[in-house]
Structure formats: C-alpha cells, structure tokens
Amino acid sequence: MNIGSRIFRIIVVTHTSEHIKTFNFLVLVHFVSKKEFHNLFFCYFLISIYNLQIGEIFKFKEKKKDIYISRKSKRQDDQMERKYTNVSHHNHVLLRPDSYVGSVKPRTEERWLCKKMSSSFELVSCKSRPACQKLFDEILLNACDNSRIPNNPTKKIRIVLTKESIQVENDGQCIPIKKQDGMYIPEMVFFKLLTSEHYDDKKERISAGLNGYGSKLTAIFSTKVSVDCFDPGRKLFFHQEYRKNMKETDGPIVKKKKSNKYTVRYTYTPDTQYFPKWNNKTSMALYRRRVADVAACFPKVKFYLNEEEVKTSFKKYIGKYTTNKSTTFEFPNWTIGLALSSTEAFQQISFVNGIRTSKGGTHIDAMLNQITSHIQTILRKRHKKSTTKLSKKNIMQRLFLFINCTVRNPHFGSQTKEEMTTEVDTPTLSLKAVEKAIKTSGILTELEVWLESKELNSLNKKMRGTQKKTIKGIPKLNDAQKAGTSESKKCHLILTEGDSAASTAIAGLTVVGRKYYGVMPLKGKMLNVRGKSASVLSKNKEIQDLIKILGLQLGRTYTDTSSLRYGKIMVMADQDVDGFHISGLLLNFIEHFWPSLTRLGYIQRFITPLIKIGNREFFSITAYETWREQNPSNHQKVKYYKGLGTSTNKEAKQYFTNLRKYVKEVYFDEFASENLQLVFDGNFASQRKIWMNKEVQMIDYSVPRFTVKDIIMPELLEYSKSTLYRAIPKLVDNLKQAQRKILFAAFKKVRTKEMKVAQLAAYTADVSEYTHGETSLCQAIIKMAQDYPGSNALPLLQPNGQFGSILQNGGDAASPRYIFTQLQPYTENIFHPDDLSLLTTLIEEGTPVEPQFYVPILPMLLVNGASGIATGWRTNILPCNLKEIISNLRRLLRKEPIKHMKPFVKGYKGTISEEYLSSGLFELKGNHVDITQLPLGVSVLQYKTFLHGCSFVTKFDELHPNEREVHFRVTLSEVLANPYKQLKLERQLGKSLVTLDLNGNIQSFNSPDEILIEFFKIRMDYYHRRKTYLLSAYERQIKELEWEAIFIQRVITNPRQPNLEGIPQNHLDKFRKMSISRLETQNINKCKETIDQMKVTRATLEQTTAENLYERDLNVLYEKLFSSKKRKR
C-alpha cells in the first residue's frame, strides 16, 4: 500500500460464488480517488475474517451503501487490460524482502545472544526477525571492508546502539565527494540500488559486498537514515538524509571542512512497520554478538561499542561459546578452531570475509571432511582390533567447528549470504595436529566412550550371563551346589592363580563345604579390559567364562546380587607382586564394567602368608624384615612360600578354618575408580610415571577390610616398580634382573666349559632364587648369546648351536635342550674380577644371590643397545660404534672433550638417523629392484610376507649370499613414486633413552654422549674404590703371611709346645688346620718372598692412578677384541 501515490493494493480471496460472504479469489484493487478510501478498511475487514489467500483478479464496484465484487467471465477476462503488475525495484524490495534481507516476520529459533560484552554467549530459544539483523550486518561489514584496503585501511570502527537509532562509523579510506553521472558519489554508494565497485569479475575481491545492494537495503527498510562522509583530500564534508523507506530526501549538503574524526558515518532507524521490536533486549543482544563476531574476525581493527573497546581474539572468541577446551590452527587467511560439541550435535560458527555463514557451505564441508577422515584414521589406529566403526556423521556429532577465512571472489547461495557455494582450497591439517587437538579438547575421549558403549551393546549380546543352575563347557569350574539357585546370594566364587592354587582352595573346601563355595582357576594374568575393543573381549575365553559363571550382564547397574549366580568373588592369588597384579586386574575388570557391584562389597581378597617362622606368619617381606631386626637372636627355621602351591593340605584347611583372619573385604571409596584408572588406563601414562616415583609403604594386612587406596594401590605400586627391574636395564651394566641372574650363574658354572641352555636356566633359577619360570630364562640366555646383525655387538655368552638369525630376528633359535653356551673369552675382561668384591650382594629368601649391579669397564648400554617395556616406561636405545666408545673413554681419561656418537649397528649396511629412522638399501634397475638391506628389526620372513601381498610386485627371488645378509630381487609391475615408502624400507624405531640408576630409579637422557659421561663417572668412582680395596687387601695378605711365617717358625722351634702368643685368633684358627707338610723352613722363605713381591705390587699400585688402571684394562680388552687374530664367534 502506498498512500503517497494514491494507489492502494489490497489482496482479497473469495470462493467461485459471487456472494460477498464466500470470498476465495485474489482481488487486486486500485483506488484512484480519495472518496473511495473508505473501501480500504472494508477490504482489511474481509481479509481478517476469511483468512484469505491468493486467487484471481476481480472487479471491485461501489453502489450507494452496498459493495459488490463480481467475477469476470472468460471473455471479459481475455479483454482485461493486463493481469500482471510491474513494480519498481525499490517497491519490489519492500514487497519481497525475503529475496534481499531475509524474513521480516518473527521467527522462533535458537540464537547465540550476548547479554554483556564481558560475558559468555548464551544459546537461547527466542523470537527475532532475521532481516533486522541483516540490515545491521550490511552496514557493519561495509565499515569492515575498508580494513583490507592497502592505502589508509580502517583502524577504528565505532558502533552506537540506542533505543532511537543505530550508528556505525569508521576512519578508513574516504569516499570521494564529487559528482559522477549527475550526482555525488556518496549518494550513489549509499542510496542508489545496484551501485557497486565489484562488477568486474576479473578483479579479485575479498570484500563482503557483491551485487550493489548492501547499505541501500538498510535505507529502504528504515524510517530515517543519514550518511556523513569526509573527504580529507578535497576538504569536503557530505551529509544526506532520507526518510520514509528511502522515498523522501532534501538532497545532499556539501560543505568545506578541514578535518573530521571519521570518514564515514551511517545512522539509521529501522522501520517499526517491519521491525516493531528492533530495539528490544533480544535484538540488542544479537547486535552485541555480531559486534563480537567482527572484532574476532578483524583483529587489526579496534572496535568500540557505545564508547567501550571490544578486546578479543579468535581464541578468546571461541571461549565465549564453550567452556570445553579448544585448539586453534593458524594458516594464511585461515583460522580454524576445534572444540567438543556442547549439544551432542554438530555445531559450527564460520565466517567468510567477515560474513557469518550460519548455514555453513563449502568451506565447512571441506574442512569437516578432512578432520573427520583424520579422526577415523586415529580411531582405527587406537582400536585396531575393534569391529565397530564410527562414520563421519557419528564423529560430526561430537564436533564444534570454528572457521574464520578470507576467500577471494566468494559466492553465496542467496543475497542473505548464509551459505558459501564457492569451491575453496582449505589448508591441510596434519594427522598429528588433529590427534593432539582431539585429545586436548576431550573429543577423543567422548568418541571412545561412545565407541565403547556401542561395542558393549554388541558384546552383551554375545556374552550375556544368566542365573541358571548348570554351567556347561567350563571343565575346570568347581561350581558351588547352590550357585544359580534362589540361594545364589550366599555363594562365594574363589578365583585362584593357576591350577596348583585351585588345589589349595579345594583342599580347604573340606572345611567349609561345597554348598556355598565354588572354585575357578585363572589361566595366568587376566586381560586389562580398559581400552580394549569388543572384538578383543569377545575372543577372550576367560572373560566369557567368568561372565557366564557369575551370571553378569554388561551395562547393567546392580542394586543387589540376588540376580547373580554368586553373591561374592573371593580372589586367592600368591602373596607376591604378580599375585598383587592378578588381584588388581580382577578388581579393574569388575569396577570397569560393573562399578555398582563394587559398592556392594562384592569383591574379597583371600590372603595367605608369605613367610612362616614356627606359628608366626608374615604377609610381606617388609613385615618380616622389621620383625627380624627386632628379634635378631631368634634362629627358628624360616619357610618361604613362593606360591599357594607351597601350602600343604593341612595348612589350606587351617586357612579355611579361620576365614575372618584370611579373607578381607575390598572397600571401594569415591576415589577407587580414579586410582584404578591411574594404574590400568593407557590415557594416564604421564600421571602413572609421577605415581611410580613414590616410595612403597609397609602394608598392614591385619586390618579387617582392604581399601583400594591404602592396600591395593601400594601393592600395585610394588608390582609396577618390579616391572622396571625386569624390563628396564641399569645404566651401569645394561642388565635386566633375569640377565643379571644369568650372568651371576654363568660366572659360577660356565667360565670355560659349555652347558646346555636349558641346564643353565635351571641352574640359574636354583642359585639365584628366580621365581618366574625357566622358560623365560631360556629365552633370556639365547638373546644374550645372539650375534646376528641387529642383535648384540658383544654378546656375553657364546652361541654354540643355532641361536637364531635374520630370517626371523632370532625367533628361529633351536630348542634350549639342543644348544649350548658358555662365557665369551672377553666377558671377564669387561666384568673385571677385581670389581666383584666391591659389589653389594642381594639376599632373597635368606640366600645370597646376584649383586645389585655389576660394574663393567664398557658402557654396555651403548655397546649392545637395549629395549624393554615396563609399567609407565619404555626404553629403546640403539648401540654405537664400539671403537668410538673406547676412544671417547680414553678422551675422558685424558680430560678431553668427547666426539659426538651416532647410532651404529654392527653388520647393518643401511642408514640410521639420530632420531632412529632406519632405512634399508635398494637399487632400481628398470622394472627390477635389488634390496640388499631391510630396515632394522624387520625379519626376512616378515618382508617375504609383505612382498607376497604387494599389488605392484610381479615376482621376487631370494638371492641371500649367507645367513647374515639379505638380497631380494623384486620385479615391479609399475613405476614407484616413493620407493622407500611403497617398498616399506623405512621404519621409525622410537627413541627412548631411559634406564635405571644405581638405586633402581628411572633416569632419562637426551643423547648417547650423556649416557657415556654418566657411566664414566660411576666407573671412575669404582676404580678409586678398587684401588683402595686392593691396597687394603694386599695389606691384609702381607700381615697374614707374616703371621704364617711366625707360626711356622715357632712350631719348628718347639714342635711340642710352640709359643703362640700374639698371633691373632682368626689367623690362629686357620693355621691350626694347616697340613704338616707345610710346617717346613722352606715355606717360611716362600712366605717372605711372597711378602716382598706383594710389597712391590702394593707400592706399584700406590703409584698408579685410577685413570691408569682404567687405561690398562681398556688396552687389554681392545687387544683381545681387535687383534689380528679374529675372535671366535
């Protein structure tokens, strides 16, 4: 309707009947005189009553007081002047606003509101008119576009929001105040539709404007709008005001002015006919949020809202949307943010050249595809055995993606610019960067929890326990008679460590009976279920059997145990570190899947004594040692119980007679879950390392119940520390616990005579009190003797037989029953006998065993390298060149700087970088490639398997010259773009220079040079100790020889009653055992000669420095290793 032009357009709908009460057709009425004006109100009345919709055009007449609307006949319709109306562009904008600025009708939807600039945004369901926000956006982005202009860009933008108007001004490049085509340029720019500087598509454009609408749309939907421009070059000031939807103006005002604070100011008042609530609280909150948007997108511009500076960055801006941790990636023209979705649905906030693309577009799709592909790869890598996969759609639901990008010549789906349609080249995010981001933000955890939930649902279908009386297919189960009945709640299932422990428990059942007690032996250590996929769990028979036996259902929350086959679990494991671990794994299993059961006292521990002295029982070594210190005079027999199998049937019955003493309930407090996660969850590796630095405290086993914090965690700490000694070598001797025991036994038994590996393993277990089985000792002995390329540079034992080769990386060694070994000729030159007396001997089960550590003259850690994995730690150290090591030791002896050492593997012809990237050797010859070295650690058998499955390999031949060298000739079916990668001739070995110090604590290094220097300090200290000890030993021997000469002389002088006064008692006891043949004068002379020789040797030693001793030992060893005569293999 336009009253000013006296033309009125009324839409009416009528039925086919001409009766006035049955309107159903469109009537377009033109009022051409003022006296017909009253008809307008009648038409509005009809519209409101009949809810009229679009129909046909009717003739509209007035006769006296009645109004008639008649439908034209077909002939009349044909004769009608025109059915169509041609409107001006300006009026079209008003009639069809959706095509230009979006809907002017209120719409209820969720919008991000900024109630205060200093506060976070809130996602609120509210009513708003999208067009109202678009008008503000057009003016704001006009100001922001100037910030990209090279000459005089915008530095400051000021926004003023009041109840009367909205004002935006900037200090950027001015608009020339001069006439063009008969009007001033500012008037063209701001008030003439389709005026734009962006019609040249050949010219690159990164501004928001494109079609020449922008600020003109804001003016059309405003009751009043004014523009002020300043042209500093011409010293002119321009002002023009439009009213009534850009219909009325008094024309521009141009005047002279020397300076001005701003170059452009745009002030407007939205038309309340279209936007009746443009200045309410919701609208103002949306304006504020939009100001925050552009402040984050244009960091070089200072923004002021109502005179208050808006300080932000894109990182801080992301923080206004979510409290979850986020990661940002910076690229030229792109800033990408990633956080965990707060709604469990995909969320995105994106900007293209400052335009808020609320519906996303190609930039979001491309980046999302890249990120979700990386996440799928990461999940596959972390859950290799999982059969459950997450689709990109699943992953999207956990993402909150933020993008601020600058795109040249962008195109959008409509004038509202909510969705970009231009295909763009997005920056490439690395897999490593995405992995770090999703770990930091918690996205990975959420996805893995979702994946685990999905797997559990699948797993529960396969492994669902029920409360039934009979369990079939588990022959080792000794089921309680009442299990699976109405009395199941009273039943206890005793889970034992192995079959021998089960025998002990079954012997005890003669006391308590089988009615309410069942026994089930566990096969070794149970699977750590945390982080394991459903497919892994479903293939684990032990877990399946346990679920069946107990009647458990995955995912179920239990309030009591009446629905289970057993009301309690009783864990009966050895009272040693491995028993602690088995108990912990069972607790971990129940707590992980059924935390509700842990609060019902479902788990109990059956403890048995570790040491007995008479009737006194000790449940830990610490308790025994404390008692021994307090009772040194007690000489009763000490019995060590290596396992439950040590207990007799009589003792087993005693345990079950007094269950209150031996059975302890495991209490789970509110921190129990966190404590078990710390030990068993792979995501807590860094925290676990800190925990392992704690000292193991003495455990009081007399308490009535065990708490996870006070009993279980100390036990698991003791176990975790024991894994360090088993898997991580000490820096000083490069020996793990088992290897040190083997060397100790070898010094005793196989110095010069060979022995079967199996026999040496048995002997080692006997003399060193090794409790982990002879099989593991056999494997350790074989590895200590191996000398194929990639194994040992200086094996300490001789490989007399087939000890393995590069074919299977030592896995092809013969049975320990058929191969022999003994000490290498140079082993005692490395582990010098003069040092043995300086070492601290360990005591196990009352028996002296191997020393705490050996002190070789070479840093064997750098000679042979080391690898191993323990709780919380891993080590992987490659060897260095032996000659370089010895040369550097000599430099240190001379107090000279050492030369940097690089990884060097004896017999390996490939290359190894300092970051442990191993590369093989190959030579391309047409469509053939000769491979003469595989990456370190890759066996011939493994590589053959790879070649068999390789699509581009036609055939291959094995031309290996001997058992220590490799030669594959491969025929290719295509040209290889990256041979190293495609032929898998590169392998990252994983550098980890971690060892144990002398006290068994973790020690980390950055380079082999640091290891060498640290070893040298220890070794020099022991050379000083050796010298002191030898001087003292010579002194003792000289004194003893002197007293021996005196004793012999006195016995010869008076055989019947020799004068023995003055001779020390310890020497006298020894001399009295002397044979008669030695009581001769010539032996006196021998003693004196030996004394003289020793005094000379002692004097020489006194003049010899520790450095001289070390140099001498190195020279002897070097001569033995590198003499012209090759050493025997």
Q: How far is residue 572's CA from residue 580's CA, in Å, rounded to a whole number?
A: 10
558 noted as active-site residue = no
Q: What's the rounded Cα separation, in Å, for the pair 1066 and 1068?
A: 5
Cα(968)–Cα(959) distance, integer angstroms = 6
Helices (H), 750-791: 757-768, 774-785
* Cβ neighbourhood burial of 204 (10 Å; 0-12, 13-18, 19+): exposed
E strand intervals along 455-595:
492-497, 517-522, 568-572
Is 450 strand, coil or helix?
Answer: helix
Q: 730: which DSSP letter?
A: B
Question: By the 8 A CB rule, do 275 and 131 touch?
Answer: yes
- Pick from 1049, 1032, 1122: which is nearest to 1084 by CA? 1049
Rounded Cα distance between 1039 and 1047, Å, is 12
Contacts of 260 by beta carbon, 8 Å cutoff, 6+ apart: 230, 232, 237
Strand 156-161 and strand 166-170: the pairing is: antiparallel
Residue carrying structure tokens 């001379």: 894
What region, left, alpha or beta, does residue 916 occupy, with left being phi > 0 and alpha being psi -120 to 50 degrees?
A: left
Closest CA to 641 of 608, 690, 593, 674: 608
891's tokens: 């430099």
Q: Which amino acid is at 827?
A: T
CA Rg, the chain, in Å? Answer: 45
Q: For residues 727 and 869, what is the distance between their CA atoms, to the nearest angstrom?
A: 6
Closest CA to 169 of 256, 246, 237, 267: 267
Alpha helices in 998-1007 (DSSP H): none
3-state secondary structure of 568: strand
What's the burial of 66, exposed, middle or buried (CB within 10 Å: 0-12/13-18/19+)? exposed
Count of Cβ atoms closer than 10 Å to residue 413 Cβ: 13
Where on the phi/psi map is residue 845: left (φ > 0), alpha (ψ -120 to 50), or beta? Answer: left
Q: Report the C-alpha gap between 184 and 180 in whole angstroms.
A: 6
CB-based contact 99:130 (threshold 8 Å): no
Amino acid identity, position 307: E
Side chain identity at residue 1002, one-letter code: I
| Residue of 87, 79, 88, 70 lying closest to 27 (CA atoms) | 70
For residues 886 and 1118, the answer to whether their CB atoms sit within 8 Å is: yes
**Calpha distance 669→716 (Å, rounded):** 17
d(CA 12, CA 24): 8
Other CB atoms within 10 Å distance of the CB of residue 903: 24
Coil vs helix vs strand at 955: strand
Separation of alpha carbons 1078 and 923, rounded Å: 76
Does residue 526 contact residue 586 with C-beta atoms inside 8 Å?
A: yes
Residue showing tokens 């109840």 = 163
Catalytic position from the list 44, 68, 199, 818: 818
Residue 354: which H helix or E strand, with range?
Answer: none
Active-site residue set = 818
